[in-house]
Amino acid sequence: MRRILRVPFILMLLSLSACALFPQRDPLNINVVGIEPLPSQGMELRFAVKLRLQNPNETTIDYNGVALDLEVNGHTLATGVSDQSGSIPRFSEGVLSVPVSISAFSVLRQTLGLSQTQRLDNLPYVLKGKLAGGLFGTMRFVDRGTLDLPGASSTW
């Protein structure tokens, strides 16, 4: 009977010690640093969203894909994915460009969601995404701010 009780106890200790083997990482600092137009098709707009990735960790971070969702004014405006792979060395940074698509229906929804007095500048945005890095290496991120469009003082 004692041997039967020892096996679960030993398995529990092994599983707890396995968690200690995973390195503790600080989150990446990810910011939008640019948006550039891409060739569009049909009723969609395409842009390249440029992200600055900063690694404040002592180890290199490898990634093999990225996914983005851009919400503006509380509604999804653009989505994008890329199978790019690369690495960000320890205490280093890099820029990653991800193509995103904006459907005509998203633009229409955004237009209808604006009030008559709301301006196009200072619209709140939330960029949600993830960098794929294998079974335990996927890192999720969120960047929030306002879109400051120069010359966008007119209303819709």
Give the pLDDT confidence score for residue 77 in this predicted structure.
86
List CB contacts of 65: < 8 A, sequence separation 6 or more.
81, 82, 83, 84, 85, 131, 132
Residue 40 lies in a domain: yes
Residue 107 lies in a domain: yes
Mean of pLDDT values over 99-119 = 71
Q: Is the pLDDT of residue 10 over 80?
A: no
CA 77 to chain centre: 14
pTM (global) more than 0.85: no
Residue 62 lies in a domain: yes
Residue 41 lies in a domain: yes
Number of domains forming the structure of the chain: 1
Quick one: DSSP state of residue 109? Answer: H
* Pairwise pLDDT comparison (28 vs 108), residue with the higher score: 28
Would you say 27 and 140 are in contact if contact means Cβ atoms under 8 Å apart?
no
**CA atoms lying within 13 Å on the CB side of residue 79:** 5
Amino acid (one-letter) located at 141: F
Residue 3 lies in a domain: no
β partners of residue 139:
131
Residue 12 lies in a domain: no
Distances (CA, A) of 137 to 53, 62, 64, 78, 85: 15, 8, 10, 25, 13
Residue 43 lies in a domain: yes
Mean of pLDDT values over 11-25 = 61
Range of the domain at 114: 25-146
Which CATH number belongs to the domain containing residue 139 in this structure?
A: 2.60.40.10
Q: Is the pLDDT of residue 8 over 80?
A: no
The span from the CA of 134 to the CA of 137, in Å, is 5
Mean of pLDDT values over 80-88 = 93
Q: Dihedral angle at the C-alpha atoms of 20, 61, 77, 72, nearest 10 degrees?
A: 70
Split at pLDDT 50, 70, 90, the class of 117 is: very low
